Chain A
């Protein structure tokens, strides 16, 4: 049988000298589900972009059904029957679902856009492939799982025979993942082929037929899913034995962060979260579990001072901080690692030293009477670069020259430099390679062992299970369950609470919340 896609010896070298792909081989058979796994930076995204025509390979050939092809742009790939669903959706929020699906290939009557036909076409497609979604509402108003379906419909509308999905499960809860897999199996049954990039090894093993493993820009293995285990896959990805757990906390400290009856409301009055009550003690990591958008990120914002609470109390170290500014709360020993380091955690055009001191510009240590103490700033920067093994030429280099993992280290270094008492962490290792991930995990547990109370939010359930001492589950803006972390706690169990299918009894909940 001829492979439907055959990438041979693909190389991609970027103008700056970065080698993203080096002699990469990928063979995908028609009608199969093929996963491409690897750490961040392994080159998977680049390979997919080449397949979709968004990048051009500097070496190697691409074959579809045996014939050599080149894709100078996405249009060519789309015409050849390749469709791509990105991790960051390319959907226009104010356009309706059907407008998003047909954009670029609209049915026409002369020069007129035939909206009626578009709507009926989209309806028919969504029924055929079991991707239920209403064509009419604006895409910005529907939940994430449905938005993903719109993305898939976009590809199917253009008669994609090969669907490439980039980390599709990153935003889904376990049960939603199951629904996605049902849809993928339906696609395969209809004769389509699916390629997807993934991180989460259990899912990869559950859905794929064959798996290609990439590391450092090269393919290091092509295996059949039924013949491998999670551990052996991880080793292939990293090339060394990977420790997937950290030590549980040994100490139990004083109450450092207390939230009571917190209610968070959006600008338009919609309640984002309510009745949030929890306590976090020094020396423990509390994991915030939940599908993204159920209140975890908002809670962290509220504690940090970036979001005003409509009701309820927040106390740090026993002191009420609800009315204090971000800076004042930091003065109480609060530190926070934000979700999106490039958007919120760093100023890419500023130097490493400037980024490292950015949160401490109101204190006496680096600023005296409004004037910067350049020597103190520099010394701290040199110190932190050493301590956190940040790979950079020096403190005066701009942050945008660093790799993703090192950028995150700058953020971590800045936040942990002053031995915080309360540490808020959101998606600490998103887009970070495994080596830096290990280091960051260690930094977080070190902070915990030095007595900090840590609140951790992550879309990666395995990360939460690995790091947390206790976990609370968010659903629809409320805390619906709390657990002590133990071996009996499985992603499936957490998933059922994450989707509101189970509810914990109030007594257990209260006890576990301390």
Chain B
């Protein structure tokens, strides 16, 4: 009598939808490349194969994957609590600044530089993630608007700090000096960007998964996400959970900042350092359906595409920004109840979600 719902079928279905969306988007991308490039085949081939081609490009790819995983994770966490807090970018900036301050301080010369830097970044990010949460809990202020505003504020304030406090005076440089080597993540594959960042990201995935599915806090969070009124009634303090979700997510966002500035790619903090990567976490979270275990896979695929676009931008006449079309399309398709024409028939063949009698 006791049966179990077919999880694999669900997962396969979700993956299938994501892949279908990706294929549609790639077809559109191909059409664009075809119509705007003088060497479309070459450009498209770069897009699809370049990231695999050398140690260096693979390093870029994995480096991106680490960062995308972290931001996707941060968004997934708040999305599971049904909160639309979009402040990961701001958290990454304040986190990056915190890590930079540690790296450039005396601590930066000790073996503690990396862990303390990461910790400082996480604390800063957590504090910054707390703010929209508090505003929502106490004043009912929309976390969408407040977190977006806070992003803009953080970026400008951090830029200001870099420009005036951290950059070597008089040079007009818009970046801090290089961090001492103890404060920079060691490379796993020497000479590339393939560094500690990916390990940190994967550990974060494991931690978030455990928190969400194996702890009472996580179950409460998911229940709040399903139905906040019910959570209140059951004695769960929904407000406290929402705030803590945004705070923990903020810590992950802050960690992203640390990975940015302390990673082999930079080893310093410069203004506008994230290049808007933090927002791509939204796409990752949506495609991964906010499931932590799916995030690294989505990040892997998406990171590949992203890197491919950048290389295509460098090596051909197609600007890398065309990837924006792919990104937008994927979000639109996955976020809607998108089905390819043949899918409905397939779905009926395989049967739908188990329903009770």
Q: Taking beta carbons and an 8 Å cutoff, which residues of A are in contact with B?
A: 16, 304-306, 325-327, 330, 336, 338, 343-350, 354, 357-359, 361-362, 366-367, 370-372, 374, 382, 391-398, 401-403, 406
B5: min CB distance to chain A, Å: 5
Contacts of A367 in B (CB 8 A): 216
> A-facing mask of B269-310, CB < 8 A → 1, else 0?
000000000000000000000000000000000000000000
Interface check B223, CB cutoff 8 A: yes
Contacts of A325 in B (CB 8 A): 235, 237
Question: A95 to B49, alpha carbons, bound, how many Å?
Answer: 60
Question: A348 to B225, alpha carbons, bound, how many Å?
Answer: 11
Contacts of A357 in B (CB 8 A): 219
A367: min CB distance to chain B, Å: 4
Contacts of B237 in A (CB 8 A): 325
A234: min CB distance to chain B, Å: 26
B354 and A361 within 8 A (CB) = no
Question: A406 to B235, alpha carbons, bound, how many Å?
Answer: 23
A350 and B223 within 8 A (CB) = yes
Contacts of A402 in B (CB 8 A): 356
Question: Top 7 closest A-B pairs, CB basis?
Answer: A347-B226, A327-B235, A326-B235, A392-B356, A349-B226, A347-B227, A367-B216
User: Which residues B233-247 have CB closer than 8 A to chain A?
Assistant: 233-237
Count of residues in B whose CB is under 8 Å from the partner chain: 30
A371 and B226 within 8 A (CB) = no
A354 and B219 within 8 A (CB) = yes
A16 and B215 within 8 A (CB) = no
B4 and A394 within 8 A (CB) = yes
Interface check B138, CB cutoff 8 A: no
Contacts of A392 in B (CB 8 A): 356
Question: Which residue from chain B places its CB closest to the CB of A374 in the assembled complex?
Answer: B214
Interface check B217, CB cutoff 8 A: yes
Interface check B232, CB cutoff 8 A: yes
Interface check B171, CB cutoff 8 A: no
Question: Which residue from chain B places its CB closest to the CB of A331 in the assembled complex?
Answer: B235
Question: A457 to B234, alpha carbons, bound, how many Å?
Answer: 19
A16 and B356 within 8 A (CB) = no
Interface check B220, CB cutoff 8 A: yes
Q: A393-B356, A394-B4, A403-B356 are in contact. Are A344 and B235 (CB under 8 A)?
A: no
B356 and A401 within 8 A (CB) = yes
Contacts of B217 in A (CB 8 A): 370
Question: A338 to B237, alpha carbons, bound, how many Å?
Answer: 17
Question: A361 to B235, alpha carbons, bound, how many Å?
Answer: 9
Interface check B110, CB cutoff 8 A: no
Partner of A347 from the list B4, B214, B215, B223 (CB cut-off 8 Å) is B223
A104: min CB distance to chain B, Å: 29
A401 and B223 within 8 A (CB) = no
B231 and A347 within 8 A (CB) = yes
Question: A395 to B4, alpha carbons, bound, how many Å?
Answer: 8
Additional A-B contacts beyond A345-B233, A347-B227 (7; CB < 8 A): A344-B227, A362-B235, A370-B216, A393-B4, A394-B1, A394-B3, A401-B354
Partner of B226 from the list A350, A370, A401 (CB cut-off 8 Å) is A350
